Amino acid sequence: MSTPSPYRTAAPESDWTAARIAEAAAELVATEGLPPIVQAGHPALRTRAVPFDGQLDAELLDALVLLMRRTMHAAPGVGLAAPQIGLPLSLAVLEDTWAADEESARARDRVPLPFTAMLNPAYAPLGDGRAGFYEGCLSVRGYTAVVRRAAAVRAQWTAPDGSARSAEFSGWQARIVQHETDHLAGTLYLDRAEPRSLCANEQYTARWAQPTPERAARALGFSA
The terminus-to-terminus CA distance of the chain in angstroms comes to 38
Contact between 185 and 130 (Cβ < 8 Å): no
Q: How many C-beta neighbours within 10 Å does residue 220 have?
A: 18
What is the spatial distance between Cα 33 and Cα 18, in angstroms, rounded to a whole number? 25
Quick check: is 180 catalytic? yes
CA angle at residue 156 from 109 to 104, to 5 degrees? 10
Choose the catalytic residue: 102, 180, 202, 214. Answer: 180
3-state secondary structure of 156: strand
CA atoms 204, 210, 215, 217: torsion sign = positive
Give the active site residues: 180
